[in-house]
Structure 1
Amino acid sequence: MHTQSDSSPHRPDAGASAASASKEEQISAIISEFSEVFAFARSRWTSFANEIHPDLKGVGMMVMQLVLKKGPVTATGLSQMLDMDKALVSRQVAKLRELGFVETEPAPEDRRVVLLTATPMADELIEQLRERWAHLYHERFGDWSVEDLAQLRAGLHRFNSSAHDVRVEGPAGRCARDHGGGHGGGEARG
């Protein structure tokens, strides 16, 4: 009697199926861990925003940091990078402008497009927040080895680098840095 080999193209390889299931389990666990990290970050941004001004929301802090890092940038670019409704982003930008953290200017390429840049006051504030966050993270990473930290950093960098660039369409995109939401030329800040 002839039995079909496990390596037959008609039968799934048991080893590959197990590896695939194991990979799926790992990805699910990573998603769960990211959810906790995001929840921690959201609560921190909300707390810091409330310290600055009662009308400023946590999302406003995220917007300010992104303007600082990617600016000059358009509101459309911000909403696409953050995957948020443009009206929500625009309200936060208006509040940040009112508080003196964001400035606007027309794009040289198309004066209909408004570019957002962070003010020196925003830069100073974000630097203070980074120092506070660094203290919190130093406590959390206190018992990690340098090798563990390097491995985490490398993995996060690899993950973040694999993300597809957000492309902004229309005039805002043409006036954006590398046609992805920020103004052309120069290095990203932050």
Structure 2
Amino acid sequence: MGTTELPDALTSVLTGVQRLVRRRLRQGLTGPRLRGAQVELLRLVAANPGIGVSAAAKELYLAGNSVSTLVNQLTAAGLLRRESGHDDRRSARLLPTPEAEARLRAWDERRAALVREQVARLSEEDLAALAAALPALRRLAESLHEEVETA
């Protein structure tokens, strides 16, 4: 496969794997279904408790008002808490609720189990090929991240 076909094939396969993993995991979900941007914000807040709305917007490459809308939705759903900033009462610090943390943890555990189960079914040759591809995929991800940072 040449450099012309590889980008499309890679994007198609990665997108397909993500979609299929999400679809399989949604089958056993309880509670309201969250959209991608909501999950991204929840993950960011769980990893950075106390992050502000503007910092979250910058990290997610979204407009501040879009993140404010997501915060309102997630707060109403009982998944985020908003507290006043220590230095500036007008600023908001975002914190995950225990329900959000439990939901993210359960999703991560189920995703890891699903992928572990499917990887265990692969041949030794496929396992070796996947392991060999990981460094290149990491470099691709780093390059994409750096490019977004400089844009």
Q: TM-score under structure 2 normalisation? A: 0.68
| Alpha-carbon separation, structure 2, partners of 1:144 and 1:34 | 19
Matched residue SS, 1:63: helix
Output the TM-score relative to the length of structure 1: 0.57
1:35/1:149 CA distance change after superposition, 3 Å? closer
1:51 and 2:51 are equivalent in the alignment: no
| One-letter amino acid of the structure 2 residue matched with residue 125 of structure 1 | R
State the alpha-carbon separation in 2 of the partners of residues 80 and 42 from structure 1.
Answer: 26
Give the AA of the match of 1:52. G
SS at match of 2:5: helix
* Residue equivalent to 1:25: 5
Is 2:132 the counterpart of 1:154?
no
Q: Distance in 1 between matches of 2:103 and 2:130?
A: 26
**Structure 2 equivalent of residue 181 of structure 1:** none
Kindly report which structure 2 residues correspond to 1:146-185, keeping only aligned pairs within 5 A, or say none: 147-162=128-143, 163-164=145-146, 166=149
Question: Partners in 2 of 1:109 and 1:69 — Cα distance?
Answer: 22
The answer for the alignment partner of 1:117 in structure 2 is: 95
User: Which of 55, 76, 79 is equivalent to 2:54?
Assistant: 76
Partner of 2:19: 39
Contact kept? 1:42, 1:58, Cα under 8 Å: no
Q: Counterpart of 1:66?
A: 44
**In the aligned structure 2, how far is the partner of 1:98 from the partner of 1:137?**
32
For residues 103-127 of structure 1, the C-alpha deviation after alignment (integer angstroms, 9 at most, x for no partner) is: 2223345443222122333222211
Gapped regions of structure 1 (runs ≥ 5): 1-20, 168-190
Describe the shift of the 1:111–1:148 C-alpha distance in structure 2 as closer, same or farther (beyond 3 A). farther
Name the larger-Rg structure: 1
> Number of paired residues?
145
CA distance in 2, matches of 1:32, 1:98: 35
Deviations 1:161-190 (A, max 9, x none): 3312659xxxxxxxxxxxxxxxxxxxxxxx
AA at the equivalent of 1:89? V
Correspondent of 1:91 among 64, 69, 75: 69
Provide closer, same or farther for how the CA distance between residues 161 and 110 of structure 1 changes in structure 2, counting only shifts above 3 A.
farther
- Asked whether the equivalents of residues 101 and 118 of structure 1 are also in contact (C-alpha less than 8 Å), the reply is yes
Give the match's secondary structure for 1:105: strand
Q: Which is helix-richer, 1 or 2?
A: 2
Q: 1:170 maps to which residue?
A: none
Unaligned 5+ segments in structure 2 are: none
